[in-house]
Amino acid sequence: MSALLAVEGLDVRHGLLQAVRQVSFEVADGETLALVGANGAGKTTLLRAIAGAHTPSGGRVHFDGRDITRLSAHQRVKLGIALVPEGRRLFPNLTVEENLRVAGGAGRSGAWTVDTVLDAFPLLGPLRRKQAVSLSGGEQQATAIGRALMTNPRLLLLDEVSLGLAPVVVEGVYRSLASLIEGGATVILVEQDLGRAMSVANRVACMLEGRIVLEGNPGELTREQVTEAYFGLRRKEASA
């Protein structure tokens, strides 16, 4: 598989704080990469930099062979990159269907329409006329993913899809996500739940203090290895 996304030596800052440090990786067309790590590891900042919502201070981002490092978020949506941000950020006074249609005009033409999104997320069908503000957390998350799909992305960036949701709701969201992945979607998933992340991903990358410190296929990595990288245990033992 050829690389759809290539990140090379990326540095991203929040003022004086360097949140992402010399990060490099590739994602192949049709692959699912799970980015895991503790709070503050740099996962969300990295995702936002790929989406164009945060300007890097160094390094490059290539998408489908094109250097997009300096392109705006809007331009990246047109190329086929869609971000589902942490916290959903729906238009609260618009209905589910209106939230979907707003996004539909911002992206590319393709197979994803209101009807196909509602087919992919059956729980949204009866809710299509309800305002987003009245939805449960799980319903909002499904709407947020559906809104991203309405741009017909080639790369879907998902930030903390299970955060704050009840376990039974997370099950439903991940069932829909698994169907998208089986259909050939290319996904980068930021997730703190190691079990969830490793269950759907082709590859896992663990971040610590802005760097990728462990990377591999879920079948080749033990949960102990990922947990040690997640919490920086090896580094602590080495410096003790």
Q: What is the pLDDT of residues 207-230, one digit of tens each?
A: 999 999 999 998 898 888 988 898
Kind of pairing, strands 203-208 and 32-36? parallel
Please state the separation of Cα 84 from the chain's center in Å: 6
Amino acid at 90: L
3-state secondary structure of 179: helix
| Angle value at C-alpha 87, between 191 and 115, nearest 5 degrees | 90
The structural domains of the chain, with segments of one domain joined by +, span 3-239
- Say which residues have a Cβ less than 8 Å from residue 105's Cβ, sequence separation at least 6: none
> Rounded CA gap, 25 and 51, in Å?
15
What's the gap between Cα 3 and its chain centre? Answer: 17
Vertex 83 angle, CA 23 and 1, to 5°: 60
Of 187, 137, 138, 194, nearest to 4 (Cα)?
A: 187
Rounded CA separation 222/109 (Å): 41
Query: Tens of pLDDT along the chain (240 residues)?
Result: 579 999 999 999 988 899 999 999 999 999 999 999 988 999 999 999 999 999 999 999 999 999 999 999 999 999 999 999 887 789 999 999 999 999 887 778 888 999 999 988 888 999 999 999 999 988 998 899 999 999 999 999 999 888 878 888 888 888 888 888 888 889 999 988 888 888 889 999 999 999 999 999 988 988 889 888 988 875 544 444
**Digit-coded pLDDT (tens) for 73-83:** 999 999 999 99
How many residues appear in the chain?
240
CATH class in words for 3-239: alpha beta
